[in-house]
Structure 1
Amino acid sequence: MRVQEVLTRFQNPFRIFFGAGFIVAGLYHFINPDFYYPMMPGWFPAPSALNLAAGAAEVVLGAGLLMSKYARLASYGIIGLMVLFIPAHVYMIQVGGCVSEAVCLPLWAAWVRLVVLHPLIILAAWWAGRSGDG
């Protein structure tokens, strides 16, 4: 079996898993909003409203990813959302990786999160959105 065939076989299940993950992550914004506030730079306006908007966007985009018809559009939305989250990742680096007792990473891990994991999430969103093309 060729690599392309293997990737294609796992693309649709990955899209469902990835979409469900975004729904869960989005719901956590509502369940534990205090977890997210310390990650927001001080210059962000209305942290509570931004947290709720981010959570709602993650839920809606995750649900969109679950529906083949909307998967590509949802993937673009997730990519845009990830770009909007970059200032929070940079802020984590600026403060040395620790923004609260609940969210404290070694500085190297904050860098890996920004320059490796975040781009991988963007790539995964792009790839997952392609499985809806049928």
Structure 2
Amino acid sequence: MEIIVIIVLRVLLITFYAFAGIYHFINPEFYYPLIPDYLPFPELINYLSGFFEIILAIGVVVPKTRLLAVKGLILILIAFIPSHIYFITEGGCMSESLCVPLWVAWVRLVLIHPLLILWAWSVRKTNKV
């Protein structure tokens, strides 16, 4: 039963990050406001983030690269922490289309973000499935 749960979580994680990565290319304007002003080259940051999310999602599929890909996803999630903090310092509103109550921004940083890291770590087993 445990292996079935891990497989389901793995498939969901792969789908989640593949879609998120593709969305960086489909709608980059969504991500630009989330990139802190103090970081140079927001377009490059956006496209690299999307590229690595796609590549790492594919890496999770392959048993030989799964552990490395999971570690890569965790590093990306850690790298995104300044963006979450920036979102909070801006009051949870980056544009008319991206505006949430401040408590939601805090929940994303303090609860959701660690759960995403835990989710990635939970699918790291490199069994042949």
Report the equivalent of 2:45: 50
2:74 aligned partner: 79
Q: Distance in 2 between matches of 1:62 and 1:24?
A: 9
Aligned partner of 2:121 in structure 1 is: 126
More helix by share: 1
1:88-107 to structure 2, matched below 5 A, reads 88-107=83-102
Gaps of 5+ in 1: 1-5
Tell me how many residue pairs correspond in the alignment: 128
**Aligned residue in 2 for 1:109:** 104
Equivalence for 1:36: 31
Write the deviation string for residues 90-126 of structure 1: whole angstroms up to 9, x where unpaired.
0010011001112111000000000000000000001
Counterpart in the other structure of 1:11: 6
Deviations 1:29-50 (A, max 9, x none): 0000000000111001100000
Give the TM-score normalised by structure 1.
0.91
1:72 CA drift (Å): 1.0
Give the alignment's Cα RMSD to 1 decimal: 1.1
Q: Which amino acid counterpart does residue 127 of structure 2 have in structure 1?
A: D
Q: Note if contact 1:79-1:125 (Cα within 8 Å) is conserved in structure 2.
A: yes
1:3 aligned residue? none
Identity rate, percent: 42
